[in-house]
Amino acid sequence: MTGLITSALLFIGPAYFANAAPLVFGGGATLDGGRRLADGQPIFGSHKTVRGVIAGIVVGTLIGLGESFVDSRLVVAGFMIALGAVLGDLLGAFVKRRLKVHLATNYGAYRLGIKKTRW
C-alpha cells in the first residue's frame, strides 16, 4: 500500500494527462458539429473535438493502467478519472458559453498584459 501523498498523486495523474492529451492529439472535426443552441452560441465551441475527447480518455486510461502497478485500484479508476476529467471539461465549456464567461476572461487577460486585444 502506498502513502497518502503518493496515492493522491497517483489518482490525479490520469486527470492531468486526460486534460493535456487533447492539446497534443486533438484537432479535426468539432464535437458539436458547428451546431448552435437557441442563444446563438456554439454548444461546446471549435476547440472541443472528437479526436481530443477520445485522446483524453485513452491517454488518461493508459496512465491509470501504468500506475496500476503501484496501486491496483487504478486499473478501473484510471478510466473513470479520465472520463470524469474530459466530461468535466466539456461541461465547463458548455456553461462558459451559456454565461459568456469567455469575454470576461479575455478582457482580464488583456488587463494583465497577457493579450494585446480586449476581445
Q: What is the domain range of residue 98?
A: 4-111
Residue 69's SS3 state is: coil
Average pLDDT per run of 10 along the chain, which is 119 residues long? 80 95 91 88 88 96 94 90 96 84 68 70
Residue 70's SS3 state is: coil
What is the count of structural domains for the chain? 1
Tell me, what's the pLDDT at 42?
A: 86
Tell me, what's the pLDDT at 85?
A: 96
- For residue 27, is it within any domain? yes
**Mind listing the pLDDT tens digit for each residue in 85-111?**
999 999 988 888 888 766 666 667 777
- For residue 116, is it within any domain? no
Q: What is the CA radius of gyration of the chain?
A: 17
- For residue 18, is it within any domain? yes
- For residue 119, is it within any domain? no
Tell me, what's the pLDDT at 98?
A: 83
**Which residues make beta-bridge pairs with 49?**
30
- For residue 117, is it within any domain? no
